[in-house]
């Protein structure tokens, strides 16, 4: 039996959130062990945000070139997937090799261990033959994996998840996509723009069901214009693969395609973590945390595993809170162990704690920031982009809020009209009439994700509607449509 090795902090899972926590704490002078069983950096750089946005960039270039006709002459477009695959392989992922990321972490002073981390009681984590005992605590950043639905026959087929879809070198002729959420829609539009015949099957009655119904309509219309077939309200009942093609039986119909992509949600990596040894229920879908990311007194969690939103920006936001909280704990432990303040147990961390304070990620006692998700931004990178923040109209009504809604189509703004082809989109505002502030907003359009930023500030800082109405909006920008939507705010 290996003797446990004492360290300050153990971080299990070095995705976006875990890598940030482990790297920053190591840089601050704590002894940090970072454990990763796959690739340091996690889903976002290798199979998520970055390569998918490279694909989208390429697909949007094709779409813009196709819009030349009627606007600026004629253009002939010949899609070729090879440069996209090459860019993902060579520029984004180093052919799915994390050497650079590992060196980045060890260069910051962290100790890297490749393998699967597992709790063996409070503060203790085993990885292979090694056992580490964490002085201040353990941070769980184990992320999620695709939640594959229990559809008859599916498990025995060579279906794709986002991994195979991102790694693809040669596109199939046809693709069935199970799931009409953000990832399903983004990838469907990309592949369709490269000439793949894409069919989306969504069990709910609309795609992008977590967002406003108007957003679902705009996204569905855009994908259909790209040739994507969309079926909503159909639940897949059976999947077969005959060696060449997939057949999915759903809602009394059969759908056939060369490939099948399953993007029906994500499930947290919890089951193999030994959470029972630390008194945490591992049967839940996610790991619940308080507003300082505590799962228990000496366990923190960051990122997708917390279920607070599967976004890189959430993982980074939570990581900043964990870093401040751990440094706060280290400061207290050091002060308790050595009231004279001369001990060097975590000397480097103290300097970092004060520099964190200076950079706004406070590490001083009582000032550790608390998580606040009221203004959580979400962007679906379809064309048009769908940006959203805060509550939808329905969510606000369900909470009994005295709601006002303001809506305007982008095409009726000056910039939308100038833009012409490709100007689909809208601004929708959800206000709390009693408080006189915005509590939610959606910005769909060619720059929907960018236009969102002003709306995020408005929701986050609870800027009074009277102030928003008396701001100056640059002419003729897309974001100027926000002023029209404000003018249209009314109760219904
Ligand atoms: C196709 C796609 C597109 C996306 N696009 C966007 C986007 O545009 N914008 C955005 O904000 N987000 C996007 N996301 C989501 C984003 O990728 C995630 O929110 C982000 O990666 C979460 O980071 P994380 O640190 O929580 O977990 P992950 O990135 O999932 O990393 C967790 C790590 O923990 C490791 N691990 C798990 N269990 C153990 C264990 N027991 N021991 C050791 N290691 C373990 C895993 O191997 C993994 O590397 C996208 C996701 C996908 C799939």
Q: What is the mean pLDDT of residues 40-60?
A: 98
Strand arrangement, sheet containing 377-380: 377-380, 385-390, 437-445, 426-432, 403-409
Neighbours of 288 (CB within 10 A): 14
- State the Cα–Cα distance between residues 346 and 218, nearest whole angstrom: 54
The residue whose CA is least distant from atom 3 of ligand 1 is 48
pLDDT for residue 334: 85
pLDDT at 337: 72
Is residue 347 very low, low, confident or very high in pLDDT (cuts 50, 70, 90)?
A: very low
Ranges 23-32, 193-202, 352-361: which has the least confidence: 352-361
Residue that wins the pLDDT comparison between 190 and 339: 190
Ligand 1 proximity of 304 Cβ (cutoff 6 Å): yes
Joined together, the tokens standing for residue 5 give: 């090795």
pLDDT tier at 204, thresholds 50, 70, 90: very high
Question: Residue 306 is encoded by which pair of tokens?
Answer: 């917390």
Q: How far is the CA of 308 from the centre of ligand 1 (A)?
A: 13
Beta strand ranges found along 117-235 (DSSP E): 118-119, 124-127, 130-140, 144-146, 174-178, 197-202, 229-232
Pocket probe mutation, ligand 1, options 14, 42, 188, 189, max atoms within 8 Å of Cβ: 42
Contact 321, 368 (CB under 8 A): yes
Between helix 182-193 and helix 49-66 the angle, nearest 10°, is: 40
Q: What is the pLDDT of residues 86-104, one digit of tens each?
A: 999 999 999 999 999 999 9
Evaluate whether 303 touches 11 at the Cβ level (below 8 Å). no
Query: Would the pLDDT of 339 be above 80?
Result: no
Nearest CA to ligand 1 atom 52: 48
Q: Which atom of ligand 1 is nearest to the CA of 313?
A: 11
* Per-residue pLDDT reduced to its tens digit, 411-428: 999 999 999 999 999 999
Report the SS3 class of residue 241. strand
Is 145 a pocket residue for ligand 1 (Cβ < 6 Å)? no
**How far is the C-alpha of 265 from the C-alpha of 310, rounded, in Å?**
10
Q: What percent of the chain has a predicted confidence (pLDDT) above 70?
A: 94
Which residues are CB-contacts of 67 (< 8 A; sequence separation ≥ 6)?
A: 421, 422
312: left (phi over 0), alpha (psi -120 to 50) or beta: alpha
Q: How many residues are given for the chain?
A: 492
Q: What is the per-residue burial (b if ≥16 Cβ within 10 Å, else e) of 320-353? A: bbbbbbbbbbbbebbeeeeeeeeeebbebbbebb
pTM summary value:
0.94
Pair of tokens at residue 450: 């960018």
Q: pLDDT for 137-196, tens place per residue? A: 999 999 999 999 999 999 999 999 999 999 999 999 999 999 999 999 999 999 999 999
pLDDT at 335: 84
The residue to mutate among 23, 35, 43, having the most atoms of ligand 1 within 8 angstroms of its beta carbon, is 43
Question: Can you tell me which atom of ligand 1 is nearest the CA of 187?
Answer: 1
Which band of pLDDT confidence, cut at 50, 70 and 90, is reported for residue 2? low
Ligand 1 centroid – CA 117 distance (Å): 16
> Closest residue (by CA) to atom 31 of ligand 1?
15
In 281-346, alpha helices (H): 312-337
Higher pLDDT, 281 or 379: 379
* pLDDT in the model for residue 363: 44
Residue 388 in 3-state DSSP?
strand
Q: Which residue has the higher pLDDT, 343 or 410?
A: 410
Residue tagged 């089951």 (tokens): 271
8 A C-beta contact, residue 200 and residue 231: yes
84 lines ligand 1 (CB under 6 A): no
For 387-412, how does the pLDDT look when each residue is reduced to its tens digit (9 = 90+)?
Answer: 999 999 999 999 999 999 999 999 99
Which residue's C-alpha comes closest to atom 37 of ligand 1? 142
pLDDT of the residue at 361: 42
**Cβ(127) – ligand 1 distance below 6 Å:** no
């Amino acid at each position: 039996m290996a003797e446990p090795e004492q360290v300050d902090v153990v971080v299990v899972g070095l995705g976006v959130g875990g890598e940030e926590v482990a790297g920053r704490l190591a840089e601050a002078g704590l002894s940090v062990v970072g454990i990763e069983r796959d690739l340091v950096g996690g889903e976002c750089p290798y199979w998520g945000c970055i390569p998918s946005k490279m694909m989208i960039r390429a697909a949007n270039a094709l779409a813009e070139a196709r819009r030349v006709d009627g606007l600026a002459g004629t253009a002939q477009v010949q899609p070729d997937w090879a440069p996209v695959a090459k860019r993902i392989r060579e520029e984004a992922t180093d052919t799915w090799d994390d050497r650079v990321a590992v060196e980045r972490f060890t260069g910051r002073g962290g100790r890297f261990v490749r393998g699967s981390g597992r709790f063996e009681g409070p503060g203790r984590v085993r990885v292979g033959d090694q056992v580490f005992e964490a002085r201040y605590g353990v941070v769980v950043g184990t992320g999620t994996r695709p939640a594959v639905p229990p559809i008859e026959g599916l498990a025995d087929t060579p279906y794709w998840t986002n991994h195979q879809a991102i790694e693809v070198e040669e596109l199939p002729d046809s693709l069935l996509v199970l799931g009409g959420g953000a990832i399903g829609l983004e990838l469907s539009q990309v592949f369709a723009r490269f000439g793949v015949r894409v069919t989306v099957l969504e069990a709910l009655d609309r795609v992008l069901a977590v967002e406003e119904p108007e957003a679902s309509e705009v996204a569905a219309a855009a994908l259909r214009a790209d040739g994507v077939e969309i079926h909503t309200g159909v639940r897949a009942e059976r999947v077969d693969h005959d060696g060449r093609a997939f057949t999915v039986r759903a809602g009394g119909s059969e759908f056939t395609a060369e490939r099948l992509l399953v993007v029906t949600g994500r499930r947290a990596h919890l089951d193999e973590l030994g959470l029972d040894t630390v008194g945490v229920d591992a049967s839940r879908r996610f790991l619940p945390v308080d507003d300082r990311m505590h799962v228990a007194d000496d366990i923190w969690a960051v990122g997708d595993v917390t279920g607070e939103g599967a976004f890189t920006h959430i993982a980074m936001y939570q990581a900043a809170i964990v870093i401040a909280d751990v440094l706060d704990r280290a400061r207290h432990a050091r002060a308790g162990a050595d009231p004279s303040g001369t001990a060097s147990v975590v000397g480097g961390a103290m300097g970092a704690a004060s520099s964190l304070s200076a950079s706004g990620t406070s590490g001083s006692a009582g000032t550790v920031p608390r998580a606040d998700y009221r203004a959580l931004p979400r962007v679906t990178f379809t064309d048009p982009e769908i940006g959203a923040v805060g509550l939808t109209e329905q969510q606000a009504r369900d909470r009994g809020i005295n709601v006002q809604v303001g809506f305007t189509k982008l095409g009726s703004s000056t910039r939308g009209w100038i833009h012409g082809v490709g100007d689909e989109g809208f601004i929708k505002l959800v206000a709390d009439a009693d408080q006189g502030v915005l509590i939610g907003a959606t910005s769909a359009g060619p720059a929907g994700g960018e236009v969102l930023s002003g709306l995020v500030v408005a929701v986050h800082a609870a800027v009074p509607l009277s102030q928003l109405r008396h701001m100056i909006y640059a002419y003729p920008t897309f974001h100027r449509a926000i002023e029209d939507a404000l003018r249209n705010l009314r109760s219904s």
